[in-house]
Amino acid sequence: MNTVLRQDHFALFGLTPGFDLDTSDLYRRYRDLQRTLHPDRFVGASAQERRLSVQMAAQLNEAYSILSHSLSRARYLLECLGLPPQSNPKDLDIEFLQEQILLREEWEDIRRMRDQAVMAAFQRDIKRRVEAEETEFLQLTANASAGGLDPALQVFYRMQFYHRQLEDCQLQHSENTRQHDPLTD
Amino acid sequence: MTLLQISEPGQSPEPHQSRRAVGIDLGTTHSLVATMIDGQPGTIADAEGRVLLPSVVRYRPDTAAIVGDSARAAQSEDPLNTLASVKRLIGRSIDELPDFANRSHYEFVDADSAMPRFATVAGPISPVQASAEILGALARRANESLGGDPEGVVITVPAYFDDAQRQATADAARIAGLNVLRLLNEPTAAAVAYGLDRGGEGVHAVYDLGGGTFDVSILRFSKGVFEVLATAGDSALGGDDIDARLADWIKAQAGLGDDLERGLQRHLLSLARSVKEGLSEHAEMDIELEQAPQGRWLGRITRGQFDALISDLVERTLSPCQQAVNDAGIGMDELTEVILVGGSTRMPLVREAVEQFFGRPPHVEIDPDRVVALGAAIQADILIGNKPDSDMLLLDVIPLSLGIETMGGLTEKIMPRNTTIPAVRAQDFTTYKDGQTGLSLHVLQGERELVRDNRSLARFELKGIPPMVAGAARIRVTFQVDADGLLSVSAREQTQGIESRIEVKPSYGLGDTEIEAMLTAAMDHAGEDMGQRRLRELKLEAEQAIEALAAALSKDGSRLLNSDERAEIDASLTRLQEINLGSDEAAIRAATEALEQVSTVFAQRRMDDAVRSALAGHGVAEFSGEGHA
């Protein structure tokens, strides 16, 4: 196996593992690597170079899609640190569970109200929470002592919850603002 | 056949010579071929100056099929043997296309079988074979114009084509004897033609309504890279449906019943088509039908009436547009331009709908019938190596999610739609019974939850799993999609390392033996011999391997190989050159494989080296050991 297929996603881009990452710098690295590795560059090459190119370009796409989004980057980082998040975590702290229930109730009310301004304010609030969690996650993982990681996992679960909430907001938003059909109006 | 000399280090390879590469738009209604002429893409016309080749194939007994205008002219007189719009059936079964079957005037052999075949005087003909005839006709046209067979072709397919439809198109090209450089998505091809023409950086929506398919793609174009953010569509919606709607209207107006003879049914569709085209230019059209029950019927339709007749069809294109915009994660205001592609976008109603939906007037500067072929020609020229300095890159996506059947008839997605290709994704499964030694895998494509609502691509079984308790085995299923959008699936039991690998051949496509049979039939017609063709292809492959390695050695051999490694590769290379002079199939195959084997390390080092140089301009982390900024 060659170096690229062996490397972790960060090393593939020549980066040190870490949550803090400049996504536009990542994109430029991705673009330059893809210009070099993409199968379109190997149409006339030998069979094994063509095969390698497909594998490496696929790996690169996968790595880029994971690292370019903060939530998947956080998950990947935890996996690298030996603490893979669970799909149904059992040890969530009780305050967070209560907060989840309250937020979902608030969201259901807002959804029924269909008031754009209220919805937007709610969305801004969730975004602020995501940012706060991300800052905390960054600090906890930057000094990745063994003791710092368990809290980082908890922070991850909170980030994940807020992200899902944001997705719901966006889905609702696009449903509400879906353009009326110009042909049936 | 000329053999390349192995270049000495530092010596440049053969002087660069431009190679014949073409782009082919294989359309539902018509097809065309384009190439680069003096640095500009241009379509290739036939001897009579016609660029559009009607995608109509007429079969006759004991003689070669006729493709194009004269076939189209014979549609009404010979409806059973004259096949039109076969693209709608490629890679599909008839029951997937109730509309087509209902209004079709064709007869099918085994209409229930997975692979529909038209009953013609030349025997049963599959849509793949008819498509191969069209591709062959375009290749001959290119040959006459370029003074030789095209050495490589890029064939465009609707972005929304699923794996089976892509595979079937690739099979058609193989039957036609074409070297396919790439299957390219039609909207992406159009964006290439526009992007390079206008230098337009930004985010573009491409709305492509053709004869039988609808696609919409959202792309970002920046610094030579075309990145598809999302694609959506309907692979059974197009101008054909509009023709059928109008034909039904004429039928009712003229007092014709439903049970028409085939020739008249075919004639009505052609009549509807010309009325539709007329309505793009004129506010109303007169319609004349000789074969009405009371003799000649004269009628008239206004554009308003026509628009009302087809508005739901046009409307059906808008929800894919909304989905693509949502999936791309952009706001309408972030779009730079909207581009119209496909002959059906000439209809004023379509233009209005697009303009209202995207909130801006669409671009139509490049002929919507030609733009896809032009883009394909640009890409073909680059892929074949005529433009080594080009930094253009296309990053496309899969249009529909790929997954596996799990318990209870549910689909588990492994690769979501709009994943950038090439792509690889793995997922682990386990056994559910004690001592289970086999695992059946059912590969699916589509967005729905239930298996039966999605497209079944393939079934295969991983056998020989060592007996373990339920849940102990770890079976990793890996999906890989290449740059043509074609899927291959492999499964491996992780704890014991047992691998069963298949290239997914879609259930509705053709098996290898059927393709082989069609190849033989195609060559019988052309007076060719199967064995000769196989040998020729093998020798060509060997020649390409020699050429590729010689070029790589002259560039990087002295830098990346020590003298022992170099000597070993050189010896293997010389051996293949010698053996390839003869005609011993097995020996050529063995020597080609041996050369591959011996140069594997070199290939990997070259890839690693490419990665290093791509990152050279960027800061590189110290820990990687590759130096740093």
In this predicted model, what pLDDT tens digit does every residue of B449-484 receive, in sequence order?
A: 899 888 888 888 888 788 888 888 888 888 999 999
The predicted structure's pLDDT at residue A185: 38
Helix A47-67 with A70-80: angle, nearest 10 deg: 110
Over residues B523-535, the mean pLDDT reads 73
Instruction: Sketch the domain layout of chain B as residue ranges.
Output: 21-198+367-389, 239-313, 402-512, 529-615
Residues of A in contact with B626 (CB under 8 A): 14
Q: Is pLDDT of B499 > 70?
A: no
- Which token pair is B204? 């573009």
Residue of B nearest to A41 (CA): B383
How many CA atoms does the CB half-sphere of B255 hold within 13 Å?
Answer: 10
Any idea which fold B529-615 has?
Answer: Substrate Binding Domain Of Dnak; Chain:A; Domain 2 (1.20.1270)
Class of domain B21-198+367-389: alpha beta
Q: Which is catalytic among the residues B46, B78, B87, B484?
A: B87
B96 is catalytic: no
How sure is the predictor about B72, in pLDDT bands with cuts at 50, 70 and 90? very high
B563 Cβ neighbours under 8 A, 6+ residues apart: none
Q: Is pLDDT of B138 > 90?
A: yes
Q: Is pLDDT of B7 > 90?
A: no
Is A135 part of the contact surface with chain B (CB cutoff 8 Å)?
no
Backbone angles phi, psi at B156, to 5 degrees: -90, 145
Question: What does the pLDDT look like over B198-242, one tens digit per residue?
Answer: 667 899 999 999 998 999 999 999 888 999 999 999 988 999 999
Residue (of A54, A20, A62) closest to A37 by Cα position: A54
Question: What does the pLDDT look like over A61-116, one tens digit per residue?
Answer: 999 999 999 999 999 998 888 888 888 777 778 888 888 889 888 888 888 887 88
Predicted TM-score of the model (pTM): 0.88
Q: Do B549 and A65 count as a contact with CB atoms less than 8 A apart?
A: no
Q: Which CATH superfamily is domain B239-313 in?
A: ATPase, substrate binding domain, subdomain 4 (3.90.640.10)
Residue (of B470, B386, B385) closest to B430 by Cα position: B470
Q: How many CB atoms lie under 10 A from the CB of residue A130?
A: 19
Q: Where in chain A is the domain with CATH 1.10.287.110?
A: 3-68
B539 is catalytic: no
Q: Do A54 and B422 count as a contact with CB atoms less than 8 A apart?
A: yes
**Domain B402-512 CATH (choose: 3.30.70.240, 3.40.50.920, 3.30.565.10, 2.60.34.10):** 2.60.34.10
Backbone angles phi, psi at B541, to 5 degrees: -60, -45
* Interface residue of B618, B620, B622, B626 to substitute, partner A, most A CBs within 10 Å: B618
Residue (of B367, B352, B368) closest to B317 by Cα position: B352
B434 is catalytic: no
- Percentage with pLDDT > 90 across chain A: 39
- Percentage with pLDDT > 90 across chain B: 56
Write the DSSP assignment of B386-445 as a string of letters.
S-TT---EEE-B-SS-EEEEETTTEEEEEE-TT-BSSEEEEEEE--SSTT---EEEEEEE
Instruction: Report in angstroms the alpha-carbon separations of A108 from A92, A105, A130, B90, B555.
Output: 23, 5, 20, 47, 64
Any idea which fold A94-176 has?
Answer: Monooxygenase (1.20.1280)
CA distance A50 to A47: 5
Residue B140 three-state SS: helix
CATH architecture of A3-68: Orthogonal Bundle (1.10)
The predicted structure's pLDDT at residue B500: 61
Residue of A nearest to B592 (CA): A47
Q: Is pLDDT of B114 > 70?
A: no
Cβ atoms of residues B217 and B206 within 8 Å: yes
Residues of A in contact with B352 (CB under 8 A): 182
Write the DSSP assignment of B317-332 as a string of letters.
THHHHHHHHHHHT--G
Over residues B275-281, the mean pLDDT reads 94
B276 is catalytic: no
Q: Is pLDDT of B313 > 90?
A: yes
Q: Which is catalytic among the residues B78, B163, B208, B369?
A: B208
Asked casually if ipTM beats, i.e. exceeds, 0.90, the reply is no
Q: Is pLDDT of A182 > 60?
A: no
Cβ atoms of residues B122 and B59 within 8 Å: yes
Q: Where in chain A is the domain with CATH 1.20.1280?
A: 94-176
Q: Is pLDDT of B623 > 60?
A: no
Run of H or E including B605: helix B600-615
